[in-house]
Amino acid sequence: MNITKLEQMYDVLRGADKQSLVAVWANDSHTVSAVSQAIDLGIVDGILVGDKAEIENVCQKENIDIKKFRIEHAASDVEAANKAVKLIVSGEGNILMKGLLSTDKYMRAILNKEAGLLPPKGVLSHVTVIENAFYHKLLVVGDVAIIPEPDLKQKVAIANYLINTAKAIGIETPKLAVVSATEQVLPGMQSSVDASLLSKMGERGQISGAVIDGPLSLDAAIDKESADTKKIGGEVAGNADCLLFPNLDAGNVFYKMNSKLSKAEMGAFVAGAKVPCVLSSRGDSTKTKLNSIALCAMLAGAKK
């Protein structure tokens, strides 16, 4: 099923095997409510790692049946992060989720060389799926949160993560636009040089499973009229499924513009770890966190 709206993920997942989610420092109502709803929808089984008394208090205030969760007590956010990762490593979960702890502590547990979730020579990146009412389908974008200035090797990894995510939501052959400020290949603009190399790697099968074009400016990538006016042909221009940004500044601005000005629905996760990891802001809504859980469940199911 080609998913064109985030809510369609729930229909697909209702008929699939449930995944096992481990939430880190799950002491806040948004995290607990999102996991609770995911359990009610039959998407996951949930393990909450955090302050047991605080979790019980949240469940009481939100009128949530605490018996639907398995609770693992931790006295601090760092202890919760390390304990949650150990549960994943031991095979008791296949989705990790960030709760009310800072991103640096969450990532430190994932990256722990002795007991973390990063494969040898692995590259972590952030993938977001955006449902914007002004675009005709979902957009899979990255990186908006982790790699400040990705080099070519990291961009190859990001491209593969975007392609795999697009395939997991039913896009058989994703159209990936490598974004730069211009469609011209300019030696003095590294993003345009990298984009042309990635496009050629796609043509030669070094990056497989997608149609890749770049460099493309953002308007040419997502607006057919702009692409036609600029006389840019090809399958990707004006119809991109995936956007690979040149750096974190560009990606993060795009993400927040969609979130705040367009009020877009989103789901996001960290790719490149041994399991998909929900990485949402501590201020994100319950709906965004639930979308992120569903997205990770789609990815976890596709891995099996």
pLDDT in tens, 165-195: 999 999 999 999 999 999 999 999 999 999 9
Residues in the chain: 304
CA distance linking residue 52 with residue 83, whole number of Å: 14
Per-residue pLDDT, 226: 96
Domain locations in the chain as residue ranges: 8-118+273-303, 125-260
The radius of gyration computed from the CA coordinates of the chain, to the nearest angstrom, equals 19
Per-residue pLDDT, 283: 63
The pLDDT of residue 126 is above 70? yes
* 163 φψ region: left (φ > 0), alpha (ψ -120 to 50), beta (else): alpha
For domain 8-118+273-303, the question of CATH label 3.40.50.10950 is answered with: yes
The domain 125-260 is placed in CATH, from the list 2.60.40.10, 3.40.50.800, 3.30.56.10, 3.40.718.10, at 3.40.718.10
Per-residue pLDDT, 286: 79
Which tens digits make up the pLDDT trace of 255-288?
A: 999 988 999 999 999 999 999 999 876 667 778 8
Q: Which residue has the higher pLDDT, 28 or 239?
A: 239
In the sheet that 95-98 helps form, which strands lie side by side, from edge to edge?
69-73, 44-50, 19-24, 95-98, 277-278, 265-271, 125-131, 139-142, 242-244, 175-179, 211-216
CA distance linking residue 95 with residue 99, whole number of Å: 13
- Please state, rounded to an integer, the average pLDDT across all residues of the chain: 94
Structure-token pair, residue 214? 């770049």
**What DSSP element (H or E) covers 98?**
strand 95-98
CA distance linking residue 275 with residue 279, whole number of Å: 12
3-state secondary structure of 176: strand
Per-residue pLDDT, 115: 84
Percent of the chain with pLDDT over 90: 88
Which tens digits make up the pLDDT trace of 3-18?
A: 899 999 999 998 788 9
CA distance linking residue 299 with residue 269, whole number of Å: 10
Do residues 299 and 291 touch, judged by C-beta distance below 8 A?
A: no
The pLDDT of residue 289 is above 80? yes
